[in-house]
Amino acid sequence: MSVVKEKLSFNDFSSEIIKSGDIDPDYIFLKNHLDKFGRDETIELFKKKLLIYNLESELLYHTGQITQEELKFGAERRKQKRYFSKWEQKLQKVDFDKVMKTFDGADYLVFREFFITLEGMGNWASWKAADIMNKVFGVTFHFDEMTFLNAYEYPLKGLLMINNETEDIKLYRNTELFKEHIQNAFNISKNVPNGFFFNTGDLLTLETCLCKYHSYKHGKYNIGEDLHRIMEINNNPRLQKYWGLI
């Protein structure tokens, strides 16, 4: 008879993924890439991440070793892969060095208002871009509770989940309930240790933990799988120059 393993609490889950680096190993790789290969190269790879979200494919494509037809896309981009060529041409024209300098210190929602005007860059891509710009490139944004409320649906569903509510984000039309839930989430995770550049006291890290916990509770993510997937580049002889960056 098989034994069903009990799911971890949000607190224990967050501790585990932060301690191991599985919270977002893509970010850790990009930061190490920045330290080794410099800003310009890393910005080009960052653009590909926004369009592909599969590190192995991003690196092979970035180094000209595979064609567009051979790309493998991550879950967030799989459905939009038919638009890749058009979106890549548009994104290639964006001067991200200038963008980062322009929006450094800005309110996230002001950045998002600009970013979603870029073709193919919706709410998920906007939040992901800001998160990477913050964690990897050191760009500061102003985030507050209402910023989080206007992010995208899955971390909000995770927030509802850990507060024992149905996953109906319309409940957060009641902003007082939302603020109560956010505070409760911070209280639950206050003893979670920090790791790498993930600080459990900030909204960006809380968002990532909530989003991944939502997937974990629904059986769509297992702890360690993102890190394991990315570390497979260390077994690819075509990517030897990147071995050891994760």
* Structural domain includes residue 242: no
Is the pLDDT score of 102 beyond 80?
yes
* Structural domain includes residue 111: yes
Burial class of residue 245, CB neighbours in 10 A (0-12, 13-18, 19+)? buried
Residue 97 confidence class, pLDDT cut points 50, 70, 90: very high
Number of domains in the chain: 1
* Residue 28 token pair: 């850790």
pTM: 0.88
Domain that residue 131 falls in: 10-236
* Structural domain includes residue 5: no
* Structural domain includes residue 243: no
Cα–Cα distance measured from residue 176 to residue 235, given in angstroms and rounded to the nearest whole number? 50
| Residue 141 region by backbone torsions, left for phi larger than 0, else alpha for psi between -120 and 50, else beta | beta
Q: Could you report the per-residue pLDDT of 38-88, keeping only the tens digit for each?
A: 999 999 999 999 999 999 999 999 999 999 999 999 877 888 888 899 999
Residue 161 · residue 213 · CB < 8 Å: yes
* Structural domain includes residue 245: no
Is the pLDDT score of 180 beyond 90?
yes
